[in-house]
Structure 1
């Protein structure tokens, strides 16, 4: 079970985009995630008439390592760590470490 999932609000802890907040768009692999509006680079694209794409310089969101982001806690307005708790019915849920409150996804 991943601590950070698609659709979570995260805040960047290190790097060029430190302090930025965004939503996780996708998981690339076990360690990397794509966050909307974070780690945006200029990419030079060749035109491809077969696919109908024009060439030029486009903005592309690149993956970022999940260790460089933390989940955003809306109640406190700060970054928070994620823990796991087993409920009485046997379900495993994610919780904020600071408050123990369940993360609504």
Structure 2
């Protein structure tokens, strides 16, 4: 009997809707919002970052093909949370609030994200 590959789901420091800055690669320095997350591959899709052109063949006879531009995934280790108020990228810390909730906080600015 064959063993099935076990899927390891990584904990991610970013969530959908977070504002992030790219810290490495061809789009280094760009800031955008996280549109989608793939936890299995530990990748994120950031708005306006890693834009590629995709050539689409015609599906029906008489229809013309298209050239689409869309965002492709970036590894989560290549993005850092970004403070729009103070215009600075920062690591994330987990802290407890006064009412006992566990929240994410930016280390440099002390800004609470959740």
TM-score interval, smaller chain? 0.7 to 0.9
For this pair of structures, how many residues does the alignment match?
Answer: 102
Identify the residue that residue 6 of structure 1 maps to in structure 2: 16
What is the root-mean-square deviation of aligned Cα atoms in Å? 2.0
Q: Distance in 2 between matches of 1:54 and 1:6?
A: 35
Given the two structures, how large is their TM-score scaled by the length of structure 2?
Answer: 0.78
Q: What TM-score does the superposition give when structure 1 sets the normalisation length?
A: 0.84
Matched, 1:74 2:66: no
The structure with the largest alpha-carbon Rg is 2
Decide whether the 8 Å contact of 1:70 with 1:80 is kept in 2: yes
**Alignment correspondent of 1:33:** 44
Unaligned residue ranges in structure 1 (runs of 5+): none
Query: Which 4+ runs in 1 deviate beyond 4 A?
Result: none
Match of 2:53 in 1: 42
Once the two structures are TM-superposed, the CA of residue 76 in structure 1 deviates from its matched residue by: 2.2
Quick one: distance in 2 between partners of 1:101 and 1:19?
Answer: 21
What does residue 112 of structure 2 align with?
Answer: 102
